[in-house]
Amino acid sequence: MPDLGKYGAEVLSAYGATILLLVVLIWATWSRSRKMRIALDAAEARKAENG
């Protein structure tokens, strides 16, 4: 581990905030993509069934 000296709190909080925001962005993107794919597949299946 590098010695961050008196700036440890600043460096770690900057990295923490960035990682948190990126994880939320990636999770939200993946989650909405998955939900939409499932909903569209179901709608396409209904359409094929009903003609």
Q: How far is CA 24 from CA 12, 13, 16, 18, 33, in A?
A: 18, 16, 12, 10, 14
Query: Quick one: which of 21, 51, 19, 35 has its CA closest to 11?
Result: 19
| Nearest distance from C-beta of residue 50 to other proteins, angstroms | 8
| Nearest distance from C-beta of residue 37 to other proteins, angstroms | 6
| Residues in contact with other proteins by the rule CB under 8 A | 1-8, 10-11, 13-15, 17-18, 21-22, 24-26, 28-30, 32-33, 36-37, 39-40, 43-44, 46-47, 50
Residue that the structure tokens 């998955």 belong to: 34
| Nearest distance from C-beta of residue 44 to other proteins, angstroms | 7
